[in-house]
Amino acid sequence: MKYVDVKEVFAEIPDEITLAINISGCPIRCKGCHSQYLWEDVGQELTAEVLMDLLSRHLGVSCVCLMGGDQAPEEVNRLLRHVKAHSKVRTAWYSGRKEKAEEVQLRNLDYLKLGPWMEECGPLTNRNTNQRLYRVQHNGTDEHPLTDLTPRFWKSIT
């Protein structure tokens, strides 16, 4: 699995300073995608060592978010498990899938965004969006209920 670029962002995950890592090789290829350059298998290999180095160079981030990786969910799971084991940074995965990949275990996630881009539905800021951002609840058991955070992206109408 390869990554193309990284950015510190404030809007992807509510209340987090997030290191967003764009993963290439996207198999979903949504119609109207704003990041078609990520369809190709380009960039640098994202290993656990590279990921931890990126985190060490972006002090102050509270969350790391893999933006893609749908072609290798077992690798997404492995990398996020490594972050959980070796840092206090929260983890997130933005997936274009309609449902969580079976290989990705919720215990390795703090946030999960699901849903392909559908232009007619709009982004998370649109009340008609098909995409959803969930907070994974860690309650000390093997169950990890999901809380839908999507409404936090909607501006109130006054």
In this model, does residue 157 exceed pLDDT 70? no
Distance CA 111, CA 20 (A): 13
- Residue 98: per-residue pLDDT: 93
Say whether 56 sits in a helix, a strand or coil.
helix
Model pTM score: 0.94
Tokens of 34: 């704003």
Average pLDDT over residues 79-108: 96
> What DSSP designation does 120 have?
T
In this model, does residue 141 exceed pLDDT 90? no
Residue 140 binned pLDDT confidence (cut-offs 50, 70, 90):
confident
Please report, for the chain, the start and end positions of each structural domain, with discontinuous segments joined by +. 2-153
Distance CA 126, CA 129 (A): 5
Tokens of 46: 């994202």
Residue 5 dihedral angles phi and psi, to the nearest 5° = -155, 170
- Residue 147: per-residue pLDDT: 96
- Residue 21: per-residue pLDDT: 97
